[in-house]
Amino acid sequence: MRRKVALITGITGQDGSYLAELLLKKNYKVHGVIRKSSSFNTSRIDHIYVDPHNKTNFFLHYGDLTDSNSVYNIINKIRPTEVYNLGAQSHVGVSFENPEFTAEVSGIGTLRILEAIRFLNMKKIKFYQASTSELFGETYGKNIFNEISKFHPKSPYGVAKLYSYWITSVYRESYGLFASNGILFNHESPRRGETFVTRKITRFLTKKKLGSKEILYLGNLNAKRDWGHAKDYVEMQWRILQQKKPDDFVIATGKAFSVKQFIDIASKVLNFKIEWKGKGLKEQGYLIHNNKKELIIKIDKKYFRPNEVDYLKGDASKAFKQLNFKPKYSFKKLVEDMVESDLILAEKEIH
């Protein structure tokens, strides 16, 4: 029996690195796509990379989701059994500044992969599309979303991902491809990019613990998200492709917490006491220590999106039942993991 071969786009990202580790442990041959750049952006996978001249099950290939030829050539060369499309311009805020590029990568990039699979007549390939809770955006009087909830994206990123979601469904129904969507709600980890709000917070607070004098500027403190751990969620990506039939699944914890609650829990891990004062754009966070108050958190309008999504919470009942989804990380444990990791990083940077 042929060993399973996985192709992962977005291999250098948070999910791609955790998924690669998981699949290597399961004895897969893992191939990742990286974009050609003048500087290396492989820090998340450096620990598993081995020179291909030595014996290894992990390989990297230059490619780009905006280039049909490179997508076709890589799939044709590798002949994977499973394809995980995690590649995207995944920052919601950036998508407002670069909407066309976001559409090309996060939207049409998915079509390029599916069309390559169809053209090569490789119908045995199992295809996973990384979808997102940003497909929703409007509550319509409901406070929780599942697989049959109405989509109403509120950002160029969400719209691009909505195209990917539906084109995956169309190719499944039209050509009989094993093509599944994972509608993953927010998932974080110590490997989250530092421009994302959760990592921005943990990096700031751990540096503050070591004496930093900086101030943290944030947007909507009251925005609530359903936050899980990326390690839990990439395992579900794999399980989605192990089903007998292709299908779409919401992956979420079913609990929502605000940005402010994230800050409060992260602060407690560091034995910080934060006091909040003011409302709206004038709300500020003060660090209380030695009977003194230090202003450390302020609001900046530029971090508000042109179209805000205030609340997202997922109903993963289907995944709990069919995928046996049981998150190992609670919200508190997720925050602790990120803070502890970033404290080690901050200490290394000082020394």
Per the annotation, the verdict on 100 as an active-site residue is no
DSSP state of 192: S
Contact partners, residue 222, CB within 8 Å, separation at least 6: 258, 259, 260, 310
Q: ∠238-176-80 over CA atoms, to 5°? A: 45
Backbone angles phi, psi at 122, to 5 degrees: -100, 65
Task: Report the b/e string of 178-191 with b at 16+ CB within 10 A.
Answer: bbbbbbbbbbbbbb
Q: Both tokens of residue 311?
A: 């609340």
Q: Both tokens of residue 81?
A: 């059994």
- Alpha carbon distance 81, 94 (integer Å): 33
**Pure H helices in the chain:** 14-25, 68-78, 92-97, 99-102, 109-119, 156-175, 197-209, 230-240, 259-269, 317-322, 331-350
- Alpha carbon distance 125, 199 (integer Å): 35
CA of residue 28 relative to chain centroid, distance? 22
Q: What 3-state class would DSSP assign to 289?
A: strand
Are the CB atoms for 233 and 251 separated by under 8 Å?
Answer: yes
Spot the catalytic one: 72, 84, 157, 171: 157
Spot the catalytic one: 102, 110, 132, 198: 132
Per the annotation, the verdict on 66 as an active-site residue is no
- Alpha carbon distance 113, 125 (integer Å): 11
- Alpha carbon distance 267, 274 (integer Å): 7
Spot the catalytic one: 134, 165, 206, 311: 134
Per the annotation, the verdict on 311 as an active-site residue is no
- Alpha carbon distance 276, 258 (integer Å): 14
Report which residue type is found at 279. Answer: K
Active site residues: 132, 134, 157
